[in-house]
C-alpha cells in the first residue's frame, strides 16, 4: 500500500466540478492526498469539496478558474500553494469538444477547443513548474484521450483529435525537459466513459452498436476504471515513468 500512499501530498485537479474530474479527485483523496479542485462553476465545486472532505477526511479547496484565462490559472495555482505550502500533483482534466464535419467547422470552435484542451494544459503545467522545481518533486498527469492516438469515422471532431494529440506530444516534450528536476509528466488516454461531454450520445442504440463492434472489450468504461491509472501516475510507484500515455480504452488503440 505504501507504493500508492499519497498522504501529505497536495494535488490540483482541473475540471473538478463534474464527471471524470470528480472521479479523479476521489481516487486521490482515497489515498490521502489533499486537493484543490478548480472549474468555472464555483457553487458546484463547493458541493463537491464538502462531499470529498466528509467522505475521505482530507482537505479539499474549491477555486473558481476558467482555463481559457491565464490570470485565473496563475491565481488558482498561487491559491493552492498558499493553502498547502506546496504542490505535488497536477491533473489537467478540463476538456471540451466541438463536433462538426471538418470542412464545415467554424474557426471560433477550433480555437475554443485548442484554448481549453491544449493551451490551458500548457499554462497550468507552466505555472506549477517553479513550485515543483523548488522541491525537486512533481507529478503532472495530463488527461488526453485515445483519440489523441487514433482517428475515427463515427464522430466528426477534428479539433478534439488535434488537441488531444497535442497533449500527448506536449506530455513527451515536458517530460524530456523537466526530468532533471524530478518532475514526471505523463498522460492518460481514456476511451469512452460517461460524462457531461458524452452523455448525450454514448447511451444511444446506434452508438452502443458502434462501440460494441469497435472496442475489443465490447463496452464503454465503467466508473472507477480510471482510478488505478491516476493513482499509479500520481504515486511513488511511478517514479521511473515519464513521457508516457497510458490508454485506458478496453483495447481500442490496440487493434
Kindly report the CATH number assigned to the domain that includes residue 169: 3.40.50.720
Q: Which of 81, 84, 160, 210 is catalytic?
A: 160
Task: Find out whether 124 and 91 touch, Cβ atoms under 8 Å.
Answer: no
**Residue 32 located in a structural domain:** yes
What SS3 state is found at 138? strand
**Residue 22 located in a structural domain:** yes
Q: Is the pLDDT of residue 23 over 80?
A: yes
Task: Find out whether 178 and 185 touch, Cβ atoms under 8 Å.
Answer: yes
pLDDT band at 137 (very low <50, low <70, confident <90, very high): very high
Residues 189, 174: Cα–Cα separation, whole Å: 17
pLDDT on residue 149: 98
DSSP H or E segment with residue 139: strand 138-143
pLDDT average, residue stretch 165-188 = 98
Helix, strand, coil shares of the chain, percent, nearest 5, are: 50, 15, 35
Nearest in space to 140 (alpha carbons), one of 172, 96, 116:
172
pLDDT on residue 197: 67
| Average pLDDT value over all residues in the chain | 96
pLDDT on residue 154: 87
Nearest in space to 97 (alpha carbons), one of 151, 158, 188, 160:
160
**Residue 255 located in a structural domain:** no
Lowest-confidence region among 2-6, 103-107, 141-145, 231-235: 2-6
pLDDT average, residue stretch 148-157 = 94
Question: How many other C-beta atoms are found inside a 10 Å radius of the C-beta of residue 13?
Answer: 33
Torsion 129-131-134-136 (CA) sign: negative
**Residue 45 located in a structural domain:** yes
**Residue 203 located in a structural domain:** yes
Question: How many other C-beta atoms are found inside a 10 Å radius of the C-beta of residue 24?
Answer: 28
Q: What percent of the chain lies above the pLDDT cut of 70?
A: 98
Task: Find out whether 52 and 29 touch, Cβ atoms under 8 Å.
Answer: yes
Nearest in space to 114 (alpha carbons), one of 75, 174, 157:
157
C-alpha cell of 56? 475521505
C-alpha cell of 184? 514526471
Q: Is the pLDDT of residue 240 over 90?
A: yes
pLDDT on residue 161: 98
Whose cell is 471538418? That residue is 102
Sequence-ordered list of residues with C-beta below 8 angstroms from that of 2, at least 6 positions apart, any chain = 236
**Residue 253 located in a structural domain:** no
pLDDT average, residue stretch 73-95 = 98
Q: What is the dihedral of CA 145, 151, 154, 155, to 10 degrees?
A: 60
β-sheet bridge partners, residue 42 = none
160 is catalytic: yes
pLDDT on residue 200: 72
- The range of the structural domain enclosing residue 127 comes to 2-248
**Residue 81 located in a structural domain:** yes
pLDDT on residue 138: 98
Task: Find out whether 114 and 163 touch, Cβ atoms under 8 Å.
Answer: yes
pTM of the predicted structure, to 2 decimals = 0.96
Task: Find out whether 61 and 38 touch, Cβ atoms under 8 Å.
Answer: no
**Residue 105 located in a structural domain:** yes
pLDDT average, residue stretch 159-177 = 98
Transcribe 205-225 into DSSP letters.
HHHHHHHHHHSTT-SPBPTTT
pLDDT on residue 202: 82
Residues 210, 195: Cα–Cα separation, whole Å: 18
pLDDT average, residue stretch 77-91 = 98
pLDDT on residue 1: 64
Looking at the 3D structure of the chain, how many domains does it have?
A: 1
Amino acid at each position: 500500500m505504501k507504493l500508492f500512499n499519497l498522504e501529505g501530498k497536495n494535488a490540483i485537479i482541473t475540471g473538478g466540478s463534474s464527471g471524470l474530474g470528480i472521479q479523479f479527485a476521489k481516487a486521490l483523496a482515497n489515498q490521502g492526498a489533499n486537493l484543490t479542485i478548480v472549474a468555472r462553476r464555483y457553487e458546484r465545486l463547493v458541493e463537491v469539496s464538502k462531499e470529498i472532505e466528509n467522505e475521505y477526511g482530507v482537505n479539499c479547496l474549491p477555486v473558481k478558474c476558467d482555463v481559457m484565462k491565464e490570470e485565473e490559472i496563475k491565481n488558482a495555482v498561487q491559491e493552492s500553494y498558499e493553502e498547502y505550502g506546496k504542490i505535488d500533483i497536477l491533473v489537467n482534466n478540463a476538456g471540451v469538444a466541438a463536433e462538426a464535419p471538418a470542412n464545415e467547422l467554424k474557426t471560433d470552435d477550433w480555437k475554443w477547443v485548442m484554448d481549453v484542451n491544449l493551451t490551458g494544459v500548457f499554462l497550468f503545467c507552466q505555472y506549477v513548474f517553479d513550485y515543483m522545481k523548488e522541491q525537486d518533486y512533481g507529478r503532472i498527469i495530463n488527461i488526453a484521450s485515445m483519440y489523441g492516438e487514433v482517428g475515427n469515422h463515427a464522430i466528426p471532431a477534428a479539433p478534439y483529435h488535434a488537441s488531444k494529440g497535442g497533449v500527448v506530444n506536449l506530455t513527451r516534450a515536458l517530460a524530456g525537459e523537466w526530468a532533471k528536476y524530478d518532475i514526471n509528466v505523463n498522460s492518460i488516454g481514456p476511451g469512452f466513459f460517461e460524462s457531461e461531454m458524452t452523455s448525450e450520445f454514448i447511451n444511444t442504440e446506434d452508438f452502443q452498436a458502434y462501440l460494441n463492434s469497435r472496442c475489443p472489450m465490447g463496452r464503454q468504461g465503467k466508473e472507477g476504471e480510471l482510478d488505478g491509472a491516476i493513482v499509479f501516475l500520481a504515486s511513488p510507484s511511478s517514479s521511473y515513468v515519464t513521457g508516457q500515455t497510458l490508454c485506458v480504452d478496453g483495447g481500442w488503440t490496440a487493434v
